[in-house]
Amino acid sequence: MLLNDLPPTYHISSKMSDKTTSITDLPLDILVLIFPYLPADSFLALCSTCKAFQQPSIRLDPAYWSFATRSTFRIPNQPVVQHDGVRWQKMYRRLLTQSRVFTWGNNGHSRLGHSYDERVHGLPMMPRVIRPGRPNRFRLNTHCSFPKEMEDTRSLGVISDMQCGGWSTTLLTARGTLHTVGVLDGGRVFAAIDRLQPLGFPPGYPSSSTETQYDEPATAVRQFSAGRSHILALSDSGRIWSWYHVKSAALQIKFTHLEMKEIALTDQSKESSTHGKVRQVVAGWSRSSAYIHGVGIVVWDPVERDHDDETTDTMLVMQNAEVPRTGYQRPKGRRSETEEERTLGQDVGALLNYIILEHYVVFVTDVGKVFCGKFGERNEVANILELRALRNETGTPSDVQGSFRRFAVFKNNEVITSDQSYLDACWNDQRNNPDQTNIPGLKKIPALQNNDVISVSFGDYHYLALHSNGKITSYGTELQACGALGLGSELDDEGHARGIVYDRFSRDGRLLPHSYTRGRQVWFESSKKDWISHIMNGGNNIEEAKERLELFKTSHDVQGEVSEWLEQESRHWDKQNTGDDDLGAYFALRVSSAGWHSGALVLVNDDLANQESLRSFEDQSFPRLVLSDGTEMPGQKPFDGWREGRPQLIFDTES
């Protein structure tokens, strides 16, 4: 009998007795072992058969919906919300039809995947190269300061993941296909205007057709990582692929000193050993890496073919390094541990996640500890060092995320951010200060604490946080007003309204400290952009608002408080129509940043989005507030109140 044919009551018989037993009599820990074998429609059908299966612990089982969503759509795991069954179920339903990709920031090399034939508001970076045979029209690469949907993506089906590289943006579809726009090495390519295109494999693999080549487990991508100038991918069968150029076929990675095992999808044996199988790949700033079961973190230099080589399909890595003490795995079944293994499990633990920074590897383990190791010659890591101030004293697992020079550690609903200078201080003071006492450099941004942050992504000078309610908040600096913060343009005063101060000469946009108490959300609604433009132009009474606008432009404190008031109005706006599933018109699943640009994978409810576009705000005027120091802003209109109360601004972020 098939599992999805199983009735709510079944008959068990033996020679000794006949007994009719209900499936609802089975304990929950047995049922949850059965559920993953059911497709979503069968699981929902089973839940509808009786009241017992309608209880939230079963119908909204987080283990089931997390597995179903990740296995069906190749969505990366999100450890912070892995026990939120409601979120995973809603995500599953909307992913079927509503995944969209938005990008913003520096559009050099056409890395944003849009605005090919129109001028995005902002200043140009450089002239585009005009190809022979094309109309001789002068085009400019420009900045984009407000999220805009990528072109050429809706025909790809469900988008499962997106990541920004140094000069590129790459998408993973539910079919396991990878598509990239921009270039992988902007240091050697002056400009590019190519549109989104699939990443390919060497000749001889299943098919040269991009429509079918990913159907083979050896080339269907399960997980990928975009580095500064290269991309790594892990296939369904466990192969590692590496790209160094968008138009060049991938190279399969093998090692001379390591044996990797592929997953035999047709193997019906009960052999459960994972030793030698690749779990994860991570592309760093200038390094490639993979976590291999039983070995640990393996690091090597990015690979390329020789200039005159077009046929090589496999790169045999002669020189690689292994990060010490990262290969420990908790024993399963009755396997006993040696004394050395038990000690390693207590002192270090089993690795949960890791990142590759410019000069360090940082990883977290299942005993709540965070470690780092410094790269030496040929990627060697001589030893690892626990970052004691980041230890989770409860012993529960933490998470780490980051890239280039900055990172964030998640523990107990807190998010602690830091950079390589902190790692340098801890590393260089191991002898004199082994307890790492009073080493500065750890920050707790108020808006990220106890605020359901799922992930933090870092660009060169800016960073973005994704919250469990599907909102994205933005922090840091955008160089040359490139728009990487996604909060609006310098020229239309949108950026000023959101709390950005622009340098007069460099035009670098820095987010005011006032914005770090509750954060500044990235908006996807064009109606909000129109609303903020209306407000910054004086609203419905330009003359009455004239003095307040002048005060706003000359005082950073006034700018910060008005910006916070506008933020509260926007959040109130969001609460008015969230839809049947409470996810709203735009619900972000993934956020990514690199270099000077950013992007997000967003579920879009078109019906709600269309309603948002009809919102009217013509009767609103520039706000008149009583400031925190008691100053009353000039004007004749009544004072505006605070939707969420006047915030107690926090400017000290040192942990």
Give residue 82's pLDDT band: very low, low, confident or very high (50, 70, 90): low
Task: Encode pLDDT of 504-539 as tens digits.
Answer: 999 999 999 999 999 999 999 999 999 999 999 999
Give residue 16's pLDDT band: very low, low, confident or very high (50, 70, 90): very low
* Average pLDDT for 602-607: 91
End-to-end CA distance of the chain: 58
Strand order in the sheet with 406-411: 399-403, 406-411, 414-419
Whether 127 and 221 share a structural domain: yes
Per-residue pLDDT at 133:
40
Nearest C-alpha neighbor of 295 from the set 268, 263, 321, 264: 321
Task: Name the region of 564 (left: φ>0; alpha: ψ -120 to 50; beta: rest).
Answer: alpha
Residue 466 is assigned to a structural domain of this protein: no
Distance CA 317, CA 374 (A): 21
Angle between helices 606-613 and 526-536 (to 10 degrees): 20
Residue 552 is assigned to a structural domain of this protein: no
Give residue 23's pLDDT band: very low, low, confident or very high (50, 70, 90): confident
Q: Please state the three-class secondary structure of 428-457 as a single string.
A: HCCCCCCCCCCCCCCECCHHHCCCCEEEEE
Whether 78 and 132 share a structural domain: no
276-311 as b/e, with b when 16 or more CB fall inside 10 Å? ebbebbbbbbbbbbbbbbebbbbbbebbbbeeeeee
Task: Encode pLDDT of 344-400 as tens digits.
Answer: 999 999 999 999 999 999 999 999 999 999 999 999 999 999 999 999 988 888 999
Whether 198 and 346 share a structural domain: yes
Give residue 209's pLDDT band: very low, low, confident or very high (50, 70, 90): very low
Whether 258 and 202 share a structural domain: yes
Q: Does residue 109 surpass a pLDDT of 90?
A: yes
Whether 446 and 380 share a structural domain: yes
Distance CA 315, CA 304 (A): 8
Residue 242 is assigned to a structural domain of this protein: yes
Whether 88 and 116 share a structural domain: no
Of the residues 429, 455, 481, the one at which a domain ends? 455
Give residue 266's pLDDT band: very low, low, confident or very high (50, 70, 90): low
Of the residues 40, 69, 95, the one at which a domain ends? 95
Residue 643 is assigned to a structural domain of this protein: no
Lookup result for tokens 């040269």:
208
Distance CA 120, CA 148 (A): 10
Give residue 141's pLDDT band: very low, low, confident or very high (50, 70, 90): very low
Whether 231 and 295 share a structural domain: yes
CATH of the domain at 327: 2.130.10
Whether 140 and 207 share a structural domain: yes
Beta strands in 55-113 (DSSP E): 99-106
Give residue 495's pLDDT band: very low, low, confident or very high (50, 70, 90): very high
Amino acid code (one letter) for 185: D
Amino acid code (one letter) for 518: R
- Provide the mean pLDDT of the chain: 87
Residue 106 is assigned to a structural domain of this protein: no
Residue 511 is assigned to a structural domain of this protein: no
H runs (alpha helix) in 402-525: 420-428, 494-497
Whether 306 and 162 share a structural domain: yes
Whether 255 and 360 share a structural domain: yes
Of the residues 455, 473, 508, the one at which a domain ends? 455
Whether 72 and 215 share a structural domain: no
Residue 593 is assigned to a structural domain of this protein: no
Residue 116 is assigned to a structural domain of this protein: yes
Most trustworthy range by pLDDT among 74-88, 91-105, 420-434 = 420-434
Residue 16 domain boundaries: 3-95
Whether 156 and 242 share a structural domain: yes
Give residue 124's pLDDT band: very low, low, confident or very high (50, 70, 90): very low
Q: How many domains does the chain have?
A: 2
Distance CA 157, CA 121 (A): 30
Residues in the chain, overall count: 655
Give residue 33's pLDDT band: very low, low, confident or very high (50, 70, 90): confident
